[in-house]
Amino acid sequence: MKFFADTAEIADIKELAATGLLDGVTTNPSLIMKSGRDFMEVTKEICSIVSGPVSAEVVALDHEGMMREAEVLRKIADNVCIKVPLTLEGLKTCKALTSDGSMVNVTLCFSANQALLAAKAGATFVSPFVGRHDDNGFDGMQLIGDIRLIYDNYDFRTEILVASVRHGIHVLEAAKIGADVMTAPPAVIKGLVKHVLTDKGIEGFLADWAKTGQKI
């Protein structure tokens, strides 16, 4: 499963990229606002750090407006992935952009039927929001399972990009289901390495090593 970081914070992206774990980045207007930086500037910098897809979201809601904004965004770098909302206008834009060779991430997916539409529109990625789905009384991971089944039934090439990931269990369950990608805040990704027994083991090894009085 590919790991994307859901952030616009350059320091976090550089740290994760250095580990070799980072396959791409997703951003949105809220994350850009949180960074406090110019949208175009920060997106260009992110694209220079990671070689994988960097999702940059349009803010227009009509097809013509989305296409105008997408034309600006895809000039930033070759690895920009245009992010559009899962609406009829967004799907129309998705079809036009992917037909022209651009990567497209169809976002704010909350049902398997919506994901089916995104795949038929030629989306590169579809982003079902599991955390927000859970928040509203639904089973976010069941949604991922339903999408995986449908996509496998028809051999759709659209990749399932699990979004709104809140914790390690979301990552684990998505991987077990066979999601293609997950995107999470840097803290969640870094938290995956932690285990109390790992920490305890290191502590024991170091204590024993200190008793030997040796150095490497």
Tell me, what's the pLDDT at 135?
Answer: 92
pLDDT digits (tens, 9 = 90+) for 11-33: 999 999 999 999 999 999 889 88
**77-15-58-173 Cα dihedral, nearest 10 degrees:** 120
**φ and ψ at 162, to 5 degrees?**
-70, 120
Confidence of residue 81 (pLDDT cuts 50, 70, 90): very high
Tell me, what's the pLDDT at 86?
Answer: 98
Tell me, what's the pLDDT at 200?
Answer: 96
CATH number for the domain harbouring residue 92: 3.20.20.70
pLDDT digits (tens, 9 = 90+) for 139-194: 999 999 999 999 999 999 999 999 999 999 999 999 999 999 999 999 999 999 99
Instruction: Give residue 184's domain range.
Output: 2-212
Tell me, what's the pLDDT at 129?
Answer: 97
Confidence of residue 64 (pLDDT cuts 50, 70, 90): very high
Number of compact structural domains in the chain: 1
Catalytic annotation present for 83: yes
Q: How far apart are CA 153 and CA 115, in angstroms?
A: 13
Average pLDDT taken over every residue of the chain = 97
Pairing of strands 2-6, 54-57: unpaired
pLDDT digits (tens, 9 = 90+) for 99-122: 999 999 999 999 999 999 999 999
Tell me, what's the pLDDT at 65?
Answer: 98
**Residue 198 CB burial class (10 angstroms; 0-12, 13-18, ≥19):** exposed
Tell me, what's the pLDDT at 39?
Answer: 93
Mean pLDDT of 194-216: 96
Q: How far apart are CA 211 and CA 200, in angstroms?
A: 17
Catalytic choice (2, 14, 75, 83): 83
Mean pLDDT of 195-203: 96
| pTM for the predicted model, two decimal places | 0.95
Tell me, what's the pLDDT at 38?
Answer: 92
- Quickly count: other Cβ atoms within 10 Å of residue 58's Cβ: 20
